[in-house]
A and B are shown apart, each in its own frame.
Chain A
Amino acid sequence: MALPSGTFNQSYAQDMAIFRTKTQWILLFAFLAFLFTCPLYSGDRILTILTIIGITVISVHGLNILTGYCNQISIGHAGFMAVGAYTSGMLTAHLGWSFWAALPCAALMAGLVGILFGLPSLKVKGFYLIMATIAAQFIIIWFILQFRNITGGGDGLAVPRPEIGDFVFKSKASYFYLVMIFACLATFAATNIVRTRAGRAFIAIRDNELAAEVMGVNLWAYKLLAFFIGCVFAGVAGALLVHYVAFATVDQFPFMNSVWYLGMLIVGGMGSTAGVIFGVVSLKLLDELVVIVGPMLAVVVSPQAAASLSLIMRGLIIIIFLIFEPRGLAHRWQMVKAYYRLWPFSH
């Protein structure tokens, strides 16, 4: 990325910085200020959408590290979210733990289960690994349904809201803040993991497994580490989701969600932290668009068309991106930025 004219890097720290110029810092803080004042001027409905987007961003960051950076395609991410969700849910509901103690356990448990289902990745690749992770999704859900005396099975599990001292995160606004803080932390962590030692090892595995091993990357350890990190993010997101709804059921973690998370990565751009945010936001907003357009379509065309509109739209968007912009919105955004930086001189 070219720097604005007149700006030069004078140290390696400057060269490595993501926010390099004053304008970038100002824009960052402006965005954060806007984000954290959202509850002041938006209604409950908008806040709900944003909260769900925040939770999904955390989860997809994990999938991005695992799939986008380390190339271990997982279609069991919703399953790993369920592990975190139920770990935290059971610890708080049955044992009366505080949310703050249960959350790290949820993250760790999801990570460990991730390692377990990541074990096949040491032997199988690509298509076969996809099958293994699909199995993970169904096995996890099956376990939750079977152990109904502790998980509540198909009836679900009532989960308390998080609290600090006497303050309970009961209102939409308060939970929005909680989720957004976690989403920002997750973005920060994900960005930094992928630009340091572990991240480079993941990319090495993605781009050239053979060379990665010769250059000293322990494939075994790093593939499992990718599964661990990816699923820790999923665990945190799952826990945040059930504590938000105050109820945990397996319906919150359907197989199709695992597929859509991958779709979000495709739309946003695999292997890009910004792409995660673009992808999640765009597909979630598409859903909201469908909610608005759907009823109109039901009148004009047919009710069935409206009912399947969401699926059709999502599928269509993913296909369009696969064909016309496989590198996703993140790449488009880079192009826009490059154009803006150099305008009006294109060289």
Chain B
Amino acid sequence: MKADKKVKLRIDNLSLSFGGVRALTDVSLDIRDNEILAIIGPNGAGKTALLNCINGFYKPQKGEIYYDGQRITRMRSDKLAELGIARTFQNIELYTGLSTQDNIMAARHVLMKQNFLAGALYFGWAHKEEIEHRRTVEDIIDFLEIEPLRKRVVAVLPYGMRKRVELGRALALEPKILLLDEPMAGMNLEEKEDIARFIVDVFEGQGATYPNTPVLRDGIKCIILVEHDMGVVMDLADRIIVLDFGRKIAEGTPAEIKTNPEVIKAYLGQET
């Protein structure tokens, strides 16, 4: 499929340092529509730092980030969520005291319109809106196959399931760009396969299976995947960007990256 690959997110000469530590140095890259982009690199290469910059956590000292032509550098995280950038975290960051269903429901925040006064009155408008959004949440729960966990408090769920709930929460935001920070870290093969399947399914869209949930029906056409598992990355990604010590050292298709001498050096070290 050779679909339109217009640039969705452009990163220009991004530099980020913490005191003397240079987390990112002049990183430039394009993130395009209709592709799964993988960012790989050894530990401490700056992958998560890059996501955190896109996400508004870290304020880069230099460089700009453009989303659909709009400058979003140093924008607040919640504004970025409204624009349609959602993410999952390497170390799960769920709302531990809420149930699975409420965690996903909480992500509908930016898409709901009621204020606290309507909420206080509840019956009428707020009630109707809650039910409407609940339908979407149920579709996401159904898609991720976590129905039995609907009412369970997430703090007591096993690791793999919590990762899945977190993916569900990101989906509930109906994002245009989905950032996945090591979605398969610490999982066994079976769990990895499940998550890989979900990522592909989200990317492709489910069409008529979920006619009323746009995010599942049409899919999310721009996914950024930070992952250590090379097998997964090579299979899923359309394009790969390799970071090492905060610099971009390579970019290309999985086949190109596999044979790139710079990448091999970064991962395996240089023969002396």
B216 within 8 A of A: no
The answer to whether A215 and B169 have CB atoms under 8 Å apart is: yes
A13 within 8 A of B: yes
Smallest beta-carbon distance B91→chain A, Å = 10
Closest chain B residue, CB of each to CB of A219: B78
The answer to whether A211 and B109 have CB atoms under 8 Å apart is: no
Given A16-B130, A189-B120, A197-B109: A216 touches B96 (CB 8 Å cut-off): no
Which secondary structure characterizes the binding site on chain B?
helix
The answer to whether A206 and B97 have CB atoms under 8 Å apart is: yes
Segment with Cβ contacts to A, from B38-46, B121-129, B200-208: B121-129
B94 within 8 A of A: yes
The listed residue (B57, B109, B116) touching A229 by CB distance below 8 A is: B116
The answer to whether B95 and A208 have CB atoms under 8 Å apart is: yes
The listed residue (A197, A203, A213, A219) touching B98 by CB distance below 8 A is: A203
Closest chain A residue, CB of each to CB of B135: A12
| Interface residues as binary, B62-90 with A (CB distance below 8 Å gives 1, 0 otherwise) | 00000000000000111001100011010
Give the distance in Å from the alpha carbon of A215 to the alpha carbon of B76 in the complex: 11
| Interface residues as binary, B111-152 with A (CB distance below 8 Å gives 1, 0 otherwise) | 010111011111000110011001100100000000000000
The answer to whether A196 and B93 have CB atoms under 8 Å apart is: no
Residues of chain A lying within 8 A (CB to CB) of residue B86? 214-215
Give the distance in Å from the alpha carbon of A302 to the alpha carbon of B208 in the complex: 80
Give the distance in Å from the alpha carbon of A197 to the alpha carbon of B133 in the complex: 11
Smallest beta-carbon distance A334→chain B, Å = 12
Give the distance in Å from the alpha carbon of A193 to the alpha carbon of B89 in the complex: 29
Residues of chain A lying within 8 A (CB to CB) of residue B121? 189, 192
The listed residue (A12, A196, A215) touching B114 by CB distance below 8 A is: A196
Closest chain B residue, CB of each to CB of A1: B151
The answer to whether A214 and B81 have CB atoms under 8 Å apart is: yes
B173 within 8 A of A: yes
Most buried by A among B57, B109, B134: B109
Residues of chain A lying within 8 A (CB to CB) of residue B78? 213-219
Residues of chain A lying within 8 A (CB to CB) of residue B77? 213-214
Residues of chain B lying within 8 A (CB to CB) of residue A275? none
| Interface residues as binary, A211-234 with B (CB distance below 8 Å gives 1, 0 otherwise) | 111111111000001000100000
B107 within 8 A of A: yes
The listed residue (B106, B116, B127, B169) touching A193 by CB distance below 8 A is: B116
Smallest beta-carbon distance B98→chain A, Å = 6
The listed residue (A192, A218, A219) touching B120 by CB distance below 8 A is: A192
Give the distance in Å from the alpha carbon of A282 to the alpha carbon of B130 in the complex: 34
The answer to whether A200 and B87 have CB atoms under 8 Å apart is: no
A204 within 8 A of B: yes
Give the distance in Å from the alpha carbon of A16 to the alpha carbon of B112 in the complex: 17
Most buried by B among A16, A189, A211: A211
A163 within 8 A of B: no
Give the distance in Å from the alpha carbon of A15 to the alpha carbon of B99 in the complex: 14
The answer to whether A200 and B105 have CB atoms under 8 Å apart is: yes
A78 within 8 A of B: no
Give the distance in Å from the alpha carbon of A208 to the alpha carbon of B106 in the complex: 12
The answer to whether B87 and A214 have CB atoms under 8 Å apart is: yes
A145 within 8 A of B: no
Residues of chain A lying within 8 A (CB to CB) of residue B134? 12, 15-16
Residues of chain B lying within 8 A (CB to CB) of residue A192? 119-122, 126
B250 within 8 A of A: no
Residues of chain A lying within 8 A (CB to CB) of residue B107? 215-216
B244 within 8 A of A: no
Most buried by B among A12, A225, A271: A12
Give the distance in Å from the alpha carbon of A189 to the alpha carbon of B117 in the complex: 9
A306 within 8 A of B: no
The answer to whether A204 and B110 have CB atoms under 8 Å apart is: no
Residues of chain B lying within 8 A (CB to CB) of residue A200? 98, 102, 105-106, 109
Smallest beta-carbon distance A118→chain B, Å = 15
Residues of chain A lying within 8 A (CB to CB) of residue B94? 207-208, 211
Most buried by A among B78, B93, B134, B138: B78
Closest chain B residue, CB of each to CB of A65: B116
Given A192-B126, A196-B114, A207-B96: A215 touches B106 (CB 8 Å cut-off): yes
Given A199-B119, A216-B107, A217-B78: A13 touches B97 (CB 8 Å cut-off): no
B34 within 8 A of A: no
Known: A210-B93, A215-B109. 19 other contacts (CB 8 A): A188-B120, A192-B122, A192-B126, A195-B119, A196-B116, A196-B118, A200-B102, A203-B98, A203-B102, A206-B97, A208-B94, A210-B57, A211-B93, A214-B77, A214-B86, A215-B86, A215-B169, A216-B81, A216-B109
Q: Write the residues of chain A forming the contact surface with B, with a CB cutoff of 8 angstroms.
A: 12-13, 15-16, 188-189, 192-193, 195-201, 203-204, 206-208, 210-219, 225, 229, 271
Per CB-CB distance, the 6 closest pairs between chain A and chain B, nearest first, are A216-B81, A196-B119, A216-B110, A192-B122, A198-B116, A207-B95
A-B contact pairs, 30 of them (CB 8 A): A12-B135, A16-B134, A188-B120, A196-B118, A196-B119, A197-B109, A197-B112, A197-B119, A198-B116, A200-B98, A200-B102, A203-B102, A203-B106, A204-B95, A208-B93, A208-B94, A208-B96, A211-B93, A212-B95, A213-B78, A214-B55, A214-B77, A214-B78, A215-B78, A215-B107, A215-B109, A215-B173, A216-B78, A216-B82, A216-B109
